[in-house]
Amino acid sequence: MTNTTHSTQPTQPSRLTAENPTTVLLGGDLPVRRLGYGTMRLADGPGDPTGPEARIWTAPADRDAAIALLRTAVELGVQLIDTADAYALGAGEELIADALHPYRDDLMIATKVGVVRPSPTEWVPLGHPAYLRQQTELSLRRLRTDRIDLLQLHRIDPAYPVAEQLGALKQLQEEGKVRHIGLSEVTVEQIREAEETAPVASVQNLYNLATRGHEDVVTYTAGQGIAFLPFFPVAMGAHAAPGGPLDTIAHELGATAAQTALAWLLHRSPTVLPIPGTTSAAHLAENVGALEVALDAEQFARIEAATQG
Ligand SMILES: NC(=O)c1ccc[n+]([C@@H]2O[C@H](COP(=O)([O-])OP(=O)(O)OC[C@H]3O[C@@H](n4cnc5c(N)ncnc54)[C@H](OP(=O)(O)O)[C@@H]3O)[C@@H](O)[C@H]2O)c1
């Protein structure tokens, strides 16, 4: 069960400091800058929907632009690139390999298995352990690597025991094909259940200023040192309207509303690692710049008060 009622005071002091640093230790051993890049929207041709209904079905129409954007992300200091086997039916992973292979030592590629795409509008969990193994083998081939830094179970499939799904990933980890294991769109109870089978290095859930259903997961992961990767992190809701609370604080900070929304996430917990997605080089640079936005405790609290409930 998620909990939307309790306080979300930052679990650490509110500036990015030694206690609330610019990096998180993924799985306890991989330092990663806390502003990644989500690549889901590097897909499809012009005119395709870009909202939540986006198809994410084919490789991007402008492949060169997508490759340039991925390289720019790394040049800007991004150390975690998020993808999935389901994005454009594997073409998303191939794109990343074309852009970034051979990978820098300090660059983590995070992918996901466990969702099938029978059509452009369907995303169906499939957690058969043999399927999870097969898909990981395919991801290894497409990413042109012999070990995936972070393999996330895209969804827990209720048709199979959690222990069997995590067991398949654990086996891959023991074989050296996976460094760390993550989960996606899970409750605290599901994280605890998964941890009975395998160590959980990360959780990727829908969470942003306007959508706060996973407060208890953010707090739990902070306490456990588990990285929390909020997806749709830039969504700012009505609070970002001109003259609204986010806009006002953004002006005080000399930042944009998107940067202020990302800065709020970064200050919410020291293990939060947003993975904003964009097809724009300007937005990419803007988003990475959120790491430099010095939100203070009073500003954090004001955003909190204006956007809660
Ligand atoms: N685990 C899951 O089930 C799951 C589900 C969804 C997404 N994800 C992951 O999370 C990542 C992030 O999600 P997302 O890409 O859908 O959502 P997002 O990062 O919140 O935002 C994407 C949208 O915001 C716009 N945007 C980005 N930066 C902006 C800025 N600085 N100012 C104004 N607009 C900005 C983008 O448009 P422009 O292209 O014009 O910048 C795009 O329309 C995905 O890429 C994917 O890796 C995971």
Portion of the chain with pLDDT greater than 90, in percent:
80
Q: For residue 2, is pLDDT > 50?
A: no
Q: Which atom of ligand 1 is nearest to the CA of 184?
A: 1
Between CA 153 and CA 141 the distance in angstroms is 18
For ligand 1, the distance from its centroid to the CA atom of residue 174, given in whole angstroms, is 33
Contact 82, 92 (CB under 8 A): no
Contact 114, 142 (CB under 8 A): no
The whole-number average pLDDT for the span 234-250 is: 85
Q: How far is CA 295 from CA 44, 55, 94, 275, 309, in A?
A: 36, 36, 38, 19, 21
Ligand 1, residues 283, 288, 293: which to mutate, most atoms within 8 A of Cβ? 283
Ligand 1, residues 231, 246, 247, 265: which to mutate, most atoms within 8 A of Cβ? 231
pLDDT of residue 242: 86
Residue nearest to atom 6 of ligand 1 (CA): 231
Between CA 4 and CA 73 the distance in angstroms is 33
Read off the pLDDT band of 132 (50, 70, 90): very high
The whole-number average pLDDT for the span 247-258 is: 94
Structure tokens at 42: 């590097």
Residue nearest to atom 31 of ligand 1 (CA): 283
Domains defined for the chain, CATH in brackets: 24-235+270-277 (3.20.20.100)
Q: Which of 53-67, 108-122, 163-177 has the lowest mean pLDDT?
A: 53-67
Q: For residue 276, is pLDDT > 80?
A: yes
**Nearest C-alpha neighbor of 24 from the set 199, 275, 225, 216:** 225
The whole-number average pLDDT for the span 199-215 is: 96
Structure tokens at 190: 């599901």
pLDDT of residue 15: 52
Query: How many CB atoms are located within 10 Å of the residue 136 CB?
Result: 23
- Indicate if the alpha-carbon torsion angle 203, 209, 214, 219 is positive or negative: positive
pLDDT of residue 50: 65
Read off the pLDDT band of 4 (50, 70, 90): very low
Structure tokens at 277: 């997605």
Q: For residue 227, is pLDDT > 50?
A: yes
Q: Name all residues whose Cβ lies below 6 A of ligand 1.
A: 38-41, 50, 82, 184-185, 204, 231-235, 258, 275-280, 283, 286-287
Q: For residue 61, is pLDDT > 70?
A: yes
Q: Which residue has the tokens 């070990």?
A: 147
Between CA 203 and CA 210 the distance in angstroms is 19
Q: For residue 10, is pLDDT > 90?
A: no
The whole-number average pLDDT for the span 270-292 is: 96
**Nearest C-alpha neighbor of 239 from the set 301, 298, 306:** 306
Residue 284, Cα to own-chain centre: how many angstroms?
15
pLDDT of residue 6: 39
- The alpha-carbon radius of gyration of the chain (Å, integer) is 18
Q: For residue 1, is pLDDT > 70?
A: no
Give φ, ψ of 69 to 5 degrees. -65, -45
Is this structure's pTM higher than 0.75?
yes
Q: Which atom of ligand 1 is nearest to the CA of 259?
A: 31
Instruction: Give per-residue pLDDT as tens, 170-186.
Output: 999 999 999 999 999 99
Structure tokens at 104: 């820098």
The whole-number average pLDDT for the span 127-149 is: 98
What letter does residue 94 receive in the DSSP assignment?
A: H
| DSSP alpha helix (H) spans, 254-296 | 257-268, 281-288
Give burial (CB, 10 Å; 0-12/13-18/19+) of 72.
Answer: middle
pLDDT of residue 309: 57
Residue nearest to atom 47 of ligand 1 (CA): 38
pLDDT of residue 3: 34
Q: For residue 246, is pLDDT > 70?
A: yes
Portion of the chain with pLDDT greater than 70, in percent:
91
pLDDT of residue 12: 42
Asked about 207 being catalytic, the answer comes back as no
Structure tokens at 113: 């298995």
